[in-house]
Structures are given as structure tokens and as C-alpha cells.
């Protein structure tokens, strides 16, 4: 009988796997194996745990669904994702909606997954039930979400939700933009409806900073575990770093598009680069890289938020859907600039969200990994595996290509089925 089901190795190291678990890792492994694969000079790295996706199912599977979304993420080196409570319809603000989304995910996802539950004025009485159903945490918008069915949480609602989240031992993730700052700014500088520059200027960095300050203060007062998503600016990272020093339990995420795109590229790209918060200046992007490489940013999530092409068309940039669809190529493009962020893509995510079986290539961990080869790839529309062939990265060249992704020791294929992950609470 073989010691291992599978041994994979390259010039950089080896993994031995049995029953989906890593049994040995290092420069070499001992023992026999039923199957052995040599990946040459490729890198074998932990799979991306993407804690921020919008796969929109049920209700908006024509935007994206579990099957197509997880397929594209796997092609980009991902092995686990956390789906947001919107833009599915109904949104996940009740236990019934939560359990229906879980059922669909278990039926269709090719990767392991967890589900965020919503923190809205309508969900407060349902938060404990969604926690009992296995939510990874609660997501709140501090400004309008873009969908009437998922209402924003003003400071009063956010405080109440944080108190509940602290009681059940789960984190609250916030989209941090202050609506009052946005409104005041737009009244002062009226936007031109068909101008991408106007969109970029309409949601200033100060709107982020104001909301981050409010969220941090509320987290400190309630004892809530806070996670601030898609921060675009170094000043926002500094606020989180200072809060950590003061004992606030807070972490911060950024996204590939805030590291790969700047305002000039966004204007040249057009609606495919519209998102909120918006893309920032070249100097801000460079400063975000410094924060990332210094270890001051905790996680990287795609914030994959796709839509059908018709919602990205028209003469009014402000009326178009605001979301980046870049889940397939964001990770290899980021790693093409520096391999150090692997920590923020895997281990730090697993540690932050209490998934002890995920995030590293140590013995005892789930055998979730990607094989990354130093092989240039210019991104074209026909490569895209998402439901719609939309990406702001078309035309960009990655220095690395993901040549294989493995989930619990199995190469991800059309037959792969992910499992639902429920974190320990408390």
C-alpha cells in the first residue's frame, strides 16, 4: 500500500497528500505514492482564499453564478471563497435566504466556500439565526449599496449590529464610504454624466476616511471584530494600524484593482473599471503597494462584482453598474509584481476568519494549492471563464500563469464539488 495518494514536486519543493490532507512538505518528501507529478520549475503555493466575491445566486445568476464564478476563480489560483449577501435576490438577510444560498452553493460550486450574512436595518432580528446557520460574518454598507433591497446601515444600525455580532462571536465587514461626504462633494463639484473622471472625483478619499473613523469608533465601543473591505488609500490603512495599537480588533482588505489600476488607466479602460470606492491616482497606488509589502494590509479580496454588458453601457457613467469583474487574473497580475503578498492571499485570510485547515502548505492542512509557472500571459477576452467576458485587465500581461489548481488534493475540474465551511464561533 502506498504511503501517499499524491506527491507533487518542483525544483522549489514538494507536497505529499493523503485523503485530501497534506502529510509531508518541504524540499523533498519520503514514502511511496499512487501518483506523482513533476511541475518542473513552477511554484507550488497555497490557494487564494478570496473573502470577497459577489456570485449573485439566487436571483441574478445571469450576472454571475456559483458555477461560473468558482470556475474562473479556480483558473486564477483560488480554492476557497466567501460570497457576499448581495447582489443575490433576495439578499441574505434572513436564515431562509441564507440556507437557500448555501443549498445552491453546495450544488454548484467547484470550490470550498463560506457565506457572509447581511447587516441591514431589516436583518437585525435575523442575525443570530444566520450565525447559527454558519455565517462567516456580517456585511454592512455605510452608504447606499446600489440595490434598494439591501439597505445601508447608518451609525445607529451599525452599532446595534455590531453588538449582536460581538455577542455571537463573528466579525462585521463594512463598505466604508460616508454618504454625507459624498453628497457634499457632489454638490460642490457637479459631475458630468458621461465622464469617467467625474465618477473618480465624485467619491473622494475623505469619504472613505470619515467612514473608517466611524466604524473603528463603534467597533471599539462594542467590542466587535471589524473588517474593513476594499480600502483604496494609505491614509485608510494608517487609521487601521493606529486602531490596532489602541486595542481595537480590526483588520483591513484591499483588492487587486487598487494595486493594478490607476486613474489614468481607469479613464482609458472606461466602464469596465468603474467601481466604488473608485480607482485612485498613480501615487496612491504606489503608496498602497508600500503598505502591502510592509505587512500593514491584512487580506486581498477580489470584490468580484460582475454584471451583464448592458449594465455597463450608456451615456451616463453614474447610472452604470459599478463593479470590477477581475476574479480570474487579479491574483497572477499582483504576484507578477511581487510574490510577497501570498501571505495576504492565503494564510492571513484563514487566520483572520478562523479556518484552521486552510491557508498554508504545512502537514495537517487541506491540500489546497495552485501551481504558478513563470510563463507570460497576455489577457484576452476569449480566455475569460466568467459568465460575461468583461474585465479591466484585458490587454495586460501577467508574468505568471496558473497551470493547475488543487482543492483537497484533487485537481479542480468540471466534476469538482466544493463544501460549505462554517467557522468556529466565540
Other C-beta atoms lying within 10 Å of the C-beta of residue 403: 14
Q: pLDDT tens digit string along 118-143?
A: 999 999 999 999 999 999 999 999 99
Above 70 in pLDDT, residue 309?
yes
DSSP conformation letters of 249-269: -EEEEE-THHHH--HHHHHHH
Give strand pairing partners of 147: none
Query: 234-245 and 282-293 helices cross at what angle (nearest 10)?
Result: 30
Percentages helix, strand, coil for the chain (3-state, rounded to 5) are 35, 20, 45
Above 90 in pLDDT, residue 414?
no
- Burial call 218-257: b when 16+ CB within 10 Å, e when fewer: bbbebebbbbbbbbbbbebbebbbebbeeebebbbbbbbb
Above 70 in pLDDT, residue 405?
yes
**Percentage of the chain modeled with pLDDT above 90:** 91
d(CA 113, CA 104): 11
Task: Give the distance, in angstroms, between the CA of residue 205 and the centroid of all CA atoms in the same chain.
Answer: 21
What is the pairing mode between strands 410-411 and 48-53?
unpaired
| pLDDT classification of 422: cutoffs 50, 70, 90 | confident
The pLDDT value given to residue 1: 67
Between the two ends of the chain, the Cα-to-Cα distance in Å is: 42
The pLDDT value given to residue 12: 92
Domain 47-355+379-397 fold is TIM Barrel (3.20.20)
Q: pLDDT tens digit string along 350-390?
A: 999 999 999 999 999 999 999 999 999 999 999 999 999 99
Q: pLDDT tens digit string along 320-335?
A: 999 999 999 999 999 9
From the list 297, 323, 335, the residue with the least C-alpha distance to 387 is: 323
| Cβ contacts of 169 within 8 Å, gap of 6 or more | 225, 425, 426
HEC string of 318-360 equals CCCCCCECCCCCHHHHHHHHCCCCHHHHCHHHHHHCCCCCCCC
Other C-beta atoms lying within 10 Å of the C-beta of residue 386: 22
**How far from 217 is each of 46, 141, 207, 211, CA to CA, in Å?**
35, 16, 16, 10
Q: pLDDT tens digit string along 209-232?
A: 999 999 999 999 999 999 999 999
| pLDDT classification of 413: cutoffs 50, 70, 90 | confident
Query: Residue 87 corresponds to which cell in the numbers above?
Result: 447582489
d(CA 208, CA 216): 12
| pLDDT classification of 425: cutoffs 50, 70, 90 | low
Omega within 30 of 0 (cis) for the link into 90: yes
From the list 39, 50, 44, 26, the residue with the least C-alpha distance to 358 is: 50
3-state secondary structure of 69: helix
The pLDDT value given to residue 106: 97
Q: pLDDT tens digit string along 19-64?
A: 999 999 988 787 888 999 999 999 999 999 999 999 999 999 999 9
Give strand pairing partners of 304: 53, 324
Above 60 in pLDDT, residue 426?
no
List Cβ<8 Å contacts ≥24 apart for 159-163: 159/218, 159/221, 159/222, 160/124, 161/119, 161/123, 161/124, 161/127, 162/218, 162/219, 162/222, 162/224, 162/226, 163/222, 163/224
Query: Residue 184 corresponds to which cell in the numbers above?
Result: 457634499
Other C-beta atoms lying within 10 Å of the C-beta of residue 122: 15
The pLDDT value given to residue 59: 97
Kindly report the average pLDDT of the chain as a whole number. Answer: 95
From the list 269, 232, 276, 231, the residue with the least C-alpha distance to 251 is: 231
| pLDDT classification of 416: cutoffs 50, 70, 90 | confident
3-state secondary structure of 164: helix
The pLDDT value given to residue 27: 84
| pLDDT classification of 84: cutoffs 50, 70, 90 | very high
Q: pLDDT tens digit string along 275-284?
A: 999 999 999 9
| pLDDT classification of 191: cutoffs 50, 70, 90 | low
Domain ranges of the chain: 4-38, 47-355+379-397
d(CA 387, CA 202): 30
Taking the CA of residue 105 as centre, how many other CA atoms within 13 Å lie in the half-sphere pointing to its CB? 28
The pLDDT value given to residue 71: 97
d(CA 175, CA 49): 19
Amino acid at each position: 500500500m502506498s504511503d501517499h495518494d499524491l506527491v507533487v514536486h518542483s525544483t522549489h519543493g514538494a507536497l505529499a497528500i493523503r485523503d485530501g490532507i497534506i502529510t509531508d512538505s518541504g524540499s523533498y518528501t519520503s514514502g511511496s505514492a499512487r501518483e506523482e507529478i513533476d511541475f518542473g520549475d513552477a511554484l507550488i503555493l497555497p490557494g487564494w482564499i478570496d473573502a470577497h466575491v459577489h456570485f449573485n445566486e439566487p436571483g441574478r445568476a445571469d450576472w454571475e453564478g456559483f458555477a461560473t464564478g468558482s470556475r474562473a476563480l479556480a483558473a486564477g489560483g483560488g480554492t476557497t471563497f466567501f460570497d457576499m449577501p448581495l447582489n443575490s435576490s433576495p439578499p441574505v438577510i434572513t436564515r431562509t435566504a441564507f440556507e437557500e444560498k448555501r443549498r445552491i452553493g453546495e450544488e454548484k460550486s467547484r470550490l470550498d466556500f463560506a457565506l457572509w450574512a447581511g447587516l441591514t436595518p431589516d436583518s437585525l432580528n435575523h442575525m443570530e439565526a444566520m450565525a447559527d446557520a454558519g455565517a462567516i460574518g456580517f456585511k454592512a454598507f455605510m452608504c447606499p449599496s446600489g440595490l434598494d433591497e439591501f439597505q445601508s446601515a447608518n451609525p445607529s444600525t451599525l452599532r446595534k449590529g455590531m453588538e449582536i455580532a460581538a455577542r455571537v462571536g463573528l466579525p462585521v465587514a463594512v463598505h466604508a464610504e460616508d454618504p454625507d461626504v459624498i453628497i457634499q462633494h457632489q454638490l460642490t463639484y457637479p459631475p458630468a454624466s458621461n465622464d469617467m473622471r467625474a465618477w473618480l472625483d465624485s467619491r473622494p478619499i475623505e469619504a472613505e476616511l470619515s467612514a473608517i473613523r466611524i466604524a473603528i469608533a463603534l467597533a471599539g465601543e462594542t467590542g466587535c471584530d471589524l473588517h474593513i473591505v476594499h480600502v483604496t488609500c494609505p491614509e485608510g490603512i494608517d487609521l487601521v494600524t493606529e486602531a490596532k495599537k489602541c486595542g481595537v480588533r480590526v483588520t483591513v482588505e484591499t483588492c487587486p484593482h487598487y494595486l493594478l489600476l490607476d486613474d489614468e488607466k481607469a479613464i482609458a479602460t472606461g466602464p469596465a473599471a468603474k467601481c466604488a470606492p473608485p480607482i485612485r491616482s498613480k501615487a496612491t497606488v504606489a503608496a498602497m503597494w508600500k503598505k502591502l509589502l510592509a505587512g500593514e494590509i491584512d487580506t486581498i479580496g477580489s470584490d468580484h462584482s460582475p454584471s451583464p454588458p448592458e449594465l455597463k453601457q450608456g451615456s451616463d457613467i453614474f447610472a452604470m453598474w459599478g463593479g470590477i469583474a477581475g476574479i480570474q487574473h487579479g491574483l497572477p497580475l499582483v504576484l507578477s509584481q511581487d510574490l510577497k503578498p501570498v501571505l495576504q492571499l492565503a494564510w492571513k485570510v484563514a487566520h483572520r476568519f478562523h479556518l484552521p485547515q486552510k491557508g498554508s502548505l504545512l502537514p495537517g492542512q487541506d491540500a489546497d494549492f495552485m501551481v504558478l509557472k513563470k510563463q507570460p500571459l497576455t489577457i484576452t477576452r476569449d480566455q475569460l471563464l466568467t459568465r460575461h467576458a468583461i474585465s479591466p485587465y484585458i490587454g495586460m500581461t501577467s508574468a505568471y500563469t496558473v497551470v493547475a489548481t488543487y482543492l483537497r488534493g484533487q485537481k479542480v475540474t468540471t466534476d469538482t464539488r466544493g463544501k460549505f465551511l462554517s467557522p468556529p464561533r466565540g
